[in-house]
Structure 1
Amino acid sequence: MSRRRRIYEGKGKVLYEGPEPGTLIQFFKDDATAFNAKKHDVIEGKGVLNNRISEFIFEHLNRIGIPTHFIRRVNMREQLIKEVEIIPLEIVVRNVAAGSLAKRLGIDEGTMLPRSIIEFYYKSDELDDPMVSEEHITAFGWANPQEIDDIMALAIRVNDFLTGLFMGVGIQLVDFKIECGRLYEGDMMRIVVADEISPDNCRLWDIETQDKLDKDRYRRDMGGLVDAYQEVARRLGIVNGNEPPRSGPVLVK
């Protein structure tokens, strides 16, 4: 395999230059991190499952008219994506009180929220991704008011889709995080969903048992991370119950 130029490496993925201008290859690593990488391990098979689950979700988003950076899956660990200018925000949509929201506001975890809540966090590992307001976002030029409106509209649509998707397979969508980017096509620019959507950035609870099927299993030292991710993939019809997560091709580094 020919050597490809590495564009960026994050906690869970590596971006390489793509085969055509305006494209990138997104490679899913097996790294598991929490608390902005203060906790870090390598869990075999995790990247494969995240790739497959994210592919499944992004294909459906594209199909129903929610714009994303996703083009197609290349192999078990790689996706071909459109190159976008990432907006330095994490957009969190919460349906049920959990995690930092429950702790911050003193709400019992598992409490249904009166309505879905959208929060913004500034992407900065050094600052532990601080929560920010729309005033901060516009004052510092991270996004303008129209872009914020577009981002929130996308987040609401993604939440509606994911809530129904997971409910149909017996999973409650507690909350999730997305990232968005600016996609330039000629003289046009539009905001699209980027990064990934997988159990790494969703809280997913079994509707009947409340078992956690997401990265909280790693954050809270519960174990069984890959088994939980594989259960999500099995319920979505992506893998069968006996299919182990395979490593697949690995890029030459």
Structure 2
Amino acid sequence: MARRKKVYEGKAKILYEGPEPGTLIQYFKDDSAPTVAAPATLEGKGVLNNRLSEFFMTGLNQIGVPTHFIRRINMREQLVRMAEIIPLEVVVRNFSAGPMTARLGIPEGTQLPRPIVEYYYKDERLNAPLVAEEHIVAFGWANQQDLDDIIALALRVNDFLSGVMMGVGIRLADFKIEVGRVWDGDYMRLIVADEISPDSCRLWDMRLPERPDGTLPDPQPMTDVYSELARRLGVMPSNVTHTTKPTLIN
């Protein structure tokens, strides 16, 4: 392989210069992001996350939700469009879990009255703190029109992901996306960037055995989530297996 210039390396991915101006190659590592409750390194995880992110990004593109995804190159790499990343983690919550339960005292698993969009400032030194729209606009990370567009984008992603997951017996409790700016001539638009995978979603399994009394238990976090999700969606490579229980983010 020809030597490529590394643009950025995070815990779970590496970005290299792409073959054409305005493109990048996104390489999926087996390492887990620090916010995911999974082993530090999990063999084959990068292969599965590449396939899963391709599946979700392609589906979003097909329904008119713009993403940075262009095509998958090989088992661990995909070609993506270069974008100016807004320094926010955009989290959509459908059910109370994790920090929302701890912060607001809402019992785990409670369905929220409507999907709630939250923003976290992307700074690992500060552990990605929760921020309000006032902070975002005041500090120039995005303007009010950007925020309106981000909410619309995030809710469309939520509708798509929730439907796909429900169709394979999975409840989407919450998820995180990142949003980037791209320019088409003089026109700027927002797109979904980074990845969509179990590293950025909290997924609960609805296909559980009945209790002795014949009732179904409440959905539980999925075991072996990477390979099980890939299997249910029909994108499971035949030579990759592993087991873990990741949960989301902030």
Q: TM-score, normalised by structure 1?
A: 0.88
Unmatched 5+ stretches in structure 1: 214-223, 247-253
Specify the code of the residue in structure 1 equivalent to 2:12. Answer: G
Deviates more, 1:133-142 or 1:98-107: 98-107
**What do the CA deviations read for 1:154-173 (whole angstroms, capped 9, x no partner)?**
00000001110000000000
In 2: Cα distance, 1:36 partner to 1:124 partner: 16
C-alpha distance in structure 2 between counterparts of 1:6 and 1:245, whole Å = 27
1:185 corresponds in structure 2 to 184
Contact 1:83 1:183 in 2 (8 A): yes
Aligned to 1:116: 115
8 Å Cα contact 2:11-2:34 kept in structure 1: no
Residue by residue over 1:23-82, the C-alpha shift from the partner in whole angstroms, topping out at 9 and shown as x without a partner, is 000000100133489x97111111111110000000000000000000000001001000
**Aligned residue for 1:96?**
95
Residue number in structure 1 paired with 2:28: 28
Structure 1: how far apart are the matches of 2:35 and 2:77?
Answer: 25
Residue 7 of structure 2 corresponds to which residue in structure 1? 7
Q: Structure 1 runs of 4+ off > 6 angstroms? A: none
Contact 1:36 1:125 in 2 (8 A): no
Q: In the TM superposition, what are the counterparts of 1:77-156 in structure 2 within 5 Å?
A: 77-156=76-155
Contact 1:34 1:40 in 2 (8 A): no
Match of 1:231 in 2: 228
Q: SS of 2:32's equivalent?
A: strand
What is the root-mean-square deviation in Å for CA atoms of aligned residues? 1.6
Q: CA deviation at 1:245?
A: 1.9
How far residue 239 of structure 1 moved from its aligned partner, in angstroms, is 1.7
Cα displacement string for residues 125-155 of structure 1 (whole angstroms, at most 9, x for unaligned residues): 0000000000000000000111111110000
SS in 1 for 2:221: coil
Opposite residue 114 of structure 1, the aligned amino acid is: P
User: Where does residue 60 of structure 2 map in the other structure?
Assistant: 61
Structure 2, unmatched stretches of 5+, are 209-218, 242-250
Matched to 2:86, the amino acid is I
Is 2:240 the partner of 1:245?
A: yes
Q: Call closer, same or farther: CA 1:178–1:34 in 2, change over 3 Å.
A: same
TM-score (ref. length: structure 2):
0.89
Question: What is the identity, as a one-letter code, of the residue corresponding to 2:50?
Answer: N
Q: Equivalent pairs: percent with the same residue?
A: 63
1: CA distance, partners of 2:184 / 2:221 = 40
Distance 1:228 1:87 in 2: 29
Are the aligned partners of 1:36 and 1:128 in contact in 2 as well (CA < 8 Å)? no
The question of 1:211 aligning with 2:206 is answered: no
Structure 1 residues 230 and 35, CA gap change in structure 2 (3 angstroms): closer
Q: Which secondary structure does the structure 1 equivalent of 2:155 belong to?
A: helix
Residue identity opposite 1:49 in structure 2: L
CA deviation digits over 1:156-211, x for unaligned, max 9? 00000111000000000000000000011221210000000000000111114323
Q: State how many pairs are aligned.
A: 231
What's 1:18 paired with? 18
